[in-house]
Chains A and B, each alone.
Chain A
Amino acid sequence: MFGYLVGRVAQAVVVVFVMSIIVFVGVYAIGNPIDVMIDPGATAEIRENLIRQYGLDQPLWRQYFTFVGNVLQGDLGRSMVYNTSVTGLVFSRLPATLELVLVSVTIASVIGIPAGLYAGYKPDSIAAKLIMALSVLGFSVPTFWIGMLLIMAFAVELGWLPSGGRGEVAQFLWFKTSLATTNGWEHVIMPAINLSLFKMGLLIRLTRAGMVEAMGAEYVRFARAQGLPDRQIVFSHILRNISIPVITVFGLELGSTLAFAVVTETVFNWPGVGKLIIDSILQLDRPVMVSYLVMVVILFVMINLIVDLIYARLDPRVRLKGGS
């Protein structure tokens, strides 16, 4: 187990390192951020000074090693646009994204998994067909469009919910969250539902497929022959067996939602990290782009590691060997 962890961490370090090079070279290739930012009236002298001041006149490899050196000292740099530290900037917006993602994955799993189980348990019922039809809608209709529809219906026409933004925050245990206030919930519920639809559709289909397959499996027939009630078969035997693909997809989806909930955040004006990174890309705010993408890689590596650990817990046949 320990050897396995060490191997995985070593793997992660290599991935992060390679990724940082790719991101750095890619961002470098786009061009000089000063040309995007500078005011048209600036003289050539002002421009030259800036390029020197931000070290953009240095060769690529030197810029890269300066960056890596700073990161190793825990300094991810300062945003060229906001003039604040990148870490501070990301962490000031991370709670908003975490709230949104937490609520949306909860909605997706609480509704998606039971609905999928049911649709697989009674595949011919009308309810099952309805669930499947809705699941197709869930991941085929574009998020921004559903988002706009939700806003038009619940904010503009009915006036029940606010059209966007994050609500009031209040202290909850040791951190501040908008999930601790009613106003906060009013703000989060619509974007969270919007964000959950795709994942919900995916979970329904995955669970159903696993369920249908498992229903015909020998261990289910055995359990039935033993006279076990269906409830027990489904929840303690089948669910455990179909969990592995569900958890894999769930983990990956969780990661991409955390990192790139951009569309929902934009439509609902949610002050999360997804919007931050898009704005940074548009303004070519190099330190934020590079650091954020490296942070995202670390996040994905961690989620994958946790998913693998959960595998082993669920399925004793999965052995955690060093480096594999």
Chain B
Amino acid sequence: MLKTTLRSGIATLAVLVTAPMAMSQDLMIGLRAGPDSIDPHWSTLGSQAEALRHVFDTLVDVDEKLQLKPGLAVSWEAIDETTWEFKMREGVKFHDGSDFDAEDVKFSIERIPEVTGPMPMTLYTKYVDTVEVVDPMTLRITTKGMAPSLPNDFTRLFVVPSETGMEARNEEFNSGEKAIGTGPYTFVSWQPKGDLVLSRFDDYWDGAPAWENVTRREIADDAARVAALKSGQVDLINYVPATDYLSMQNDNSLETFVSDSVYILNIAPSVKDEEPQPIKVNGVEVDGNPLQDLRVRKALDLAINRDVLVNVVLEGLGKPANQLMPEGFFGYSDKLGVREYDIEQAKALLAEAGYPDGFEIDFTCTNNRVPGDAVVCEALAQMWSRLGLTVNAQALNGTVYFPAAAREEYTMTMSAWGTLTGEAAYTYGALTHTKDPEKGFGNFNRSGYSNPEFDKVFYEGSQTLDTEARRKLYEDASFIAMEDRALIPTVILQTVWAAKADTLDMTPRVDQETRAYAITPE
């Protein structure tokens, strides 16, 4: 009896002590990147969408694994080959108290081409031909050609009230005058590269979020962000560097959350007839392009020890990859096996291809575009040197790398690719399809890869409205491109969030977004 009283007494005391903590309604987040503008139609930048999601809702939403779920639209269906119909959610209010309806969506679609910047959002409306408001809760969209991925595109379609007016620009949004959405938080203030201050919207359709006041502070420097968390200036940070992650494991006052990301480091060997930077044997340029030989590409692949990349080079913050997308994404192939490390077989293949003593090759990577790209680049060069190659590895800043890569000046590159839409069309359509500006495929195919078999299966998929049939075709297309080593996937990068221990709970997202309304106090 006494024991129980004592115990409940302690429990009460504990509640009393921790109560002010649990009641805390303010959340301060330190983030590596923030928005560039408060206008939700200005730019496709990931950190922009992530921040503005708090103020504006999208027509379609995505879950933690990037698979579609209802947003402002409760359902959608293709009623014929070129028409999609979206049903709007009832009872949704804007922050100014006005009602949401299909007119607002129509206005938002039409506003995008008027205001969008050098990272254009027209990307998400490129298939839209006409927009028709059937009734206040029904929107019908006719597309240019067949567009099975339209609902995916609309996961970035932010909705503003139709009363916003076509004249409203950046300034009106940044000042807060037009920053009116249906999102879980209302806009309070923002400074470029500074704080985005938000306040809870009590009439939010999905239930008011837990935190009353949220500040999203941009702290670009990794060390500064970690220091801000440790000194108690912020409650949560994203993109914890690998070295700090290791030390945080031994720190009881901090808690970490790890998640796979959509980013996979992949190698792109140029298979053009004439490689951009010469490949040499004994200082003499070889005839033809060795990388055109599948045996050479396989040898390069087999010489990669992905376990070492993950456990040693990335300090555990990664996973071996066998294709360009993480598991569970639309079009992920289950048939591709684990990529084994087999240096003997690699050497044999290389000899069979006519290069028993290897060759000298240039290898160019991005530097600090994603965590670990430069170190993986160097590690790969070493692994290939065991194969007998002489690899001139170079990790370049994105400002230099991307324009030169676009001019196709490199023989072999490595960079990160993120399947931000959660489905195969985005990734394989841009990277491994034959370059075809007419159809809009192969825009990022810098290696000159072209496989009619892949193109056929992929194109069939892009013209199939039935979801399951399309999934099957994309799985087959993934399989073909990966077996052919069109690109060589290496590792899936993982990212880490850190918070003060026992203060909050969150489910990490594969797209790495930090959504304040999905974080709950513990």
- Whether B231 pairs with A156 at a CB distance below 8 angstroms is yes
The answer to whether A271 and B223 touch across the interface, beta carbons within 8 angstroms, is no
CB nearest to B121 among chain A residues = A39
Contact A39 B170 (CB under 8 A): no
Taking a contact as CB atoms under 8 Å apart, the answer to whether A151 and B227 are in contact is yes
**Partner-binding segment picked from A3-11, A44-52, A251-259, A301-309:** A44-52
**B174-209 CB contact bits vs A (8 Å, 1 = yes)?**
100000000000000001111000000000000000
Question: 8 Å CB contacts to B: which residues of A4-43?
Answer: 30-43
- Give the CA-CA distance A132 to B290 in the complex, in Å: 61
On whether the beta carbons of B227 and A43 are closer than 8 Å, the reply is no
CA distance A31 to B120 in the complex (A): 19
- CA–CA, A36 and B417, complex, Å: 14
**With A and B bound together, what is the CA distance between A268 and B228 in angstroms?**
9
**Residue B283, interface by CB 8 Å:** no
| In contact, A275 and B437 (Cβ under 8 angstroms) | no
Question: Which A residues are in CB contact (< 8 Å) with B399?
Answer: 30-31, 36, 281-284
- Contact residues in A for B400 (Cβ distance below 8 Å): 30-31
Q: Pick from B18-26, B296-304, B312-320, B402-410 the stretch touching chain A.
A: B402-410
Q: Which of chain A's residues have a CB closer than 8 A to the CB of B77?
A: none
Check if A39 sits within 8 Å of B119, measured CB to CB: yes
Are B398 and A50 in contact, CB atoms less than 8 angstroms apart? no
Chain B residue with Cβ nearest A80:
B118
- For B403, the closest partner residue in chain A by CB is A31
- The answer for the CA separation of A159 and B228 in the assembled complex, in Å, is 11
Q: Is A95 at the interface (CB under 8 A from chain B)?
A: no
> Are the C-beta atoms of A46 and B123 separated by less than 8 Å?
yes
Chain B residues 263 to 295 lying within 8 A of chain A, measured CB to CB, are none
Complex: A50 Cα to B123 Cα, angstroms? 12
State whether A271 touches B194 (Cβ < 8 A). yes
Q: Number of contact residues on B: which range applies? A: 35 or more
A 254-292 to B, binary, CB cutoff 8 A, 1 in contact else 0: 000000000000111101000110010111100000000
- What separation, in Å, do the CA atoms of A163 and B28 have in the docked complex? 14
Main secondary structure of the interface of B (DSSP, over half): loop
Partner among B42, B44, B126, B191 whose Cβ is within 8 Å of the Cβ of A271: B191
In the complex, chain B residues whose CB is within 8 Å of the CB of A159: 231-232
- By a CB distance below 8 angstroms, the chain B residues around A47 are 443
Contact among B36, B217, B221, B444 for A82, CB-based, below 8 A: B36
**Please, which residue of chain B has its CB at the minimum distance from the CB of A30?**
B399
The answer to whether B221 and A282 touch across the interface, beta carbons within 8 angstroms, is no
Using Cβ atoms and an 8 Å threshold, which residues of chain B touch A81?
Answer: 36, 43, 117-118
Whole-angstrom CA separation of A43 from B43 in the bound complex: 15
Nearest B residue to A268 via CB reads B224
The residue among A34, A38, A50, A269 with the most chain B CB atoms within 10 A of its own CB is A269
Does residue A152 face the partner (Cβ distance < 8 Å to B)? Answer: yes
Contacts of B59 in A (CB 8 A): none
CA gap between A46 and B230 in the complex, in Å: 44
Interface residues on A, range: 35 or more
B228 CB, nearest partner CB in chain A, Å = 5
Q: Which residues of A contact B430 (CB under 8 A)?
A: 40-41
Q: Is A50 within 8 A of B120, CB to CB?
A: yes
Within 8 A of B (CB), among A172-224: none
Q: Which of B39, B169, B440 lies at the interface centre, i.e. has the most chain A CB atoms within 10 A of its CB?
A: B440
Q: What per-residue 1/0 map shows which CB atoms of B421-456 lie under 8 Å from chain A?
A: 100001000100000010010011000000000000
Q: Which residues from chain A contact B421 at a C-beta distance below 8 Å?
A: 41
Pick the contact of B406: A32, A50, A151, A152 (CB < 8 A).
A32
Contacts of B407 in A (CB 8 A): 31
B170 touches A164 (CB 8 A): no
A163 near B118 with CB under 8 A, answer no
Inter-chain CA distance A282–B397, complex, in Å, is: 8
Q: Is B233 an interface residue (CB 8 A)?
A: yes
Bound-state CA distance A320–B43 (Å) is: 53
B427 to A, closest residue via Cβ: A40
B194 touches A84 (CB 8 A): no
Inter-subunit contact B170/A156 (CB<8 Å)? no
Q: Are B227 and A163 in contact (CB under 8 A)?
A: yes
Q: Is A92 an interface residue (CB 8 A)?
A: yes
Asked whether A151 lies within 8 Å of B437 as measured between CB atoms, the reply is no
* Cβ-based interface call for A155 (8 A): yes
B379 within 8 A of A: no
| Chain A minimum-CB-distance residue to B426 | A41
Instruction: Indicate if A83 sits at the interface (CB-CB under 8 A).
Output: yes
Q: Is the CB of B444 within 8 A of A40?
A: yes
| A271 in contact with B193 given A80-B118, A148-B223 (CB within 8 Å) | yes
The distance in angstroms between the C-alpha atoms of A43 and B120, with both chains bound, is 11
> Which residues of A sit under 8 angstroms from B444, Cβ to Cβ?
40
CB–CB B126/A156 < 8 A: no
From known contacts A44-B443, A83-B37, A165-B217, infer whether A275 and B406 are also in contact, taking CB-CB under 8 Å: no
Residues of A within 8 A of B193 (CB): 271, 275-276, 279
A269 near B402 with CB under 8 A, answer no
List A contacts of B223 (CB < 8 A). Answer: 148, 267
- Count chain B CB atoms within 10 A of each CB in A34, A82, A84, A159 and give the residue with the most: A82
A234 → B minimal CB distance (Å): 42
Which one of A35, A89, A164 contacts B224 once the chains associate, using CB atoms below 8 Å?
Answer: A164
Q: Known contacts being A38-B118, A89-B192, is A162 close to B170, with CB within 8 Å?
A: no
Q: B220 contacts the other chain (Cβ, under 8 Å)?
A: yes
Does chain B have a CB within 8 A of A61?
no
Residues of chain B with a CB closer than 8 A to A269's CB = 218-221, 224, 228
Q: Would A152 and B227 count as touching, CB distance under 8 A?
A: yes
Q: What per-residue 1/0 map shows which CB atoms of A138-173 lie under 8 Å from chain B?
A: 000000000010011001100100111100000000
- A54 at the A/B interface (Cβ < 8 Å)? yes
A306, B397: Cα distance in complex, Å: 38
Residue of A nearest to B407 (CB): A31
The complex places the Cα of A266 from the Cα of B444 at a distance, in Å, of 33
Known: A83-B42, A284-B399. Contact between A43 and B224, CB under 8 A? Answer: no
The answer to whether A82 and B192 touch across the interface, beta carbons within 8 angstroms, is yes
With A163-B227, A164-B233: A40-B417 Cβ-Cβ less than 8 Å:
yes
Interface CB pairs A-B, < 8 A, 9: A31-B402, A37-B118, A38-B118, A42-B443, A83-B42, A92-B191, A148-B227, A156-B231, A269-B219
Q: Which 4 residue pairs of A and B lie closest in terms of their CB atoms, listed nearest first?
A: A31-B403, A155-B231, A44-B437, A163-B231
Query: Besides the contacts A32-B403, A39-B123, what 8 more A-B pairs have beta carbons closer than 8 Å?
Result: A41-B421, A81-B117, A155-B227, A163-B231, A164-B219, A164-B233, A267-B221, A284-B399
